[in-house]
Amino acid sequence: MESLFKTIVIIGKYASGSDSTGIQSQLLELAQHLTQKKINIFIESKTHHSGKFEAFKSIDLEDVGKEADLAIVVGGDGTMLGVARALVNFDIPLIGINQGRFGFLADLNTSNMLESIDEIFVGSSYKDKRMLLNSKIFRGSKCIHESLALNDVVVRSGSRLIELKVSINGRFLHKQRSDGLVITTPTGTTAYALSAGGPILHPELEAISIVPISPHTLSNRPIAVSSKSVIEIDVVDMDESYLSVDGQLKVPLELHDRVEIKSAEKMITLLHPKDYCYFEMLRKKLNWG
């Protein structure tokens, strides 16, 4: 059966210190397999530069939306997060192949990736829509930074406790002294928020979770609010603090800065094999019985 996708870009983990030999062989195997199916293949430019992919065309990540109708990401959740943010405006579905040891987004395994991808290509797939967060930092009345997050936005202290005032839709929630706050999508509830004691939210829930990090008052508990909510965090007292986006972007904060967080207008689409089950994934990843 003919593939539903005509042009595909392959993106790999190319950071120094990664198992470059292993991932290059997997990327090459994948590219050759797709070429045999008469699919037009691009290799993302930094990935292309990191390996021996001379037989394939190179493309910059910012140009993927103009050429491709699917992106396959080989690496892990960190690679998936960066690619998802970069491609969110192009409505290109993503397939994640987990080359690492632990992954919630990149769920295909390198050992059976070709069989799984073939199934997806002929329409035997599960479309998984995921929300993102839009975060802005205001210094006075001026917005000094804006970014998107698929997992979470974290307001974090440096070395000492930070005092934050939190409001939801203009209504005061609380002030708290803690190591910070994790504001997370359902996707991100299995990341930093989970280790901070937050709940796991199913990806289909339209909700945002607010999770304190080591609060000074033990009665400060995680809370989930509607995805339509606007969350405002004012930095009331601090020695040093910063805003972290998906653990990949880090922006220093100053006293009296205000962080505004709400759901982004656009979502990303992940493609899984048709028999994908979120609860089975949780059992495997978290070693549940």
Selecting among 60, 63, 69, 77, the annotated active-site residue is 77
Nearest CA to 131 among 282, 271, 269, 277? 269
Determine whether 118 is an active site residue.
Answer: no
Task: Please compute Rg for the chain using Cα positions.
Answer: 20
> Are the CB atoms for 118 and 271 separated by under 8 Å?
no
CA gap 271, 284 in Å, rounded: 19
Cα dihedral 213, 219, 224, 229 sign: negative
> Are the CB atoms for 89 and 65 separated by under 8 Å?
yes
CB count within 10 Å of CB 251 equals: 15
Residue that has been written with the tokens 């994948």 in this structure: 30
Active site residues: 77
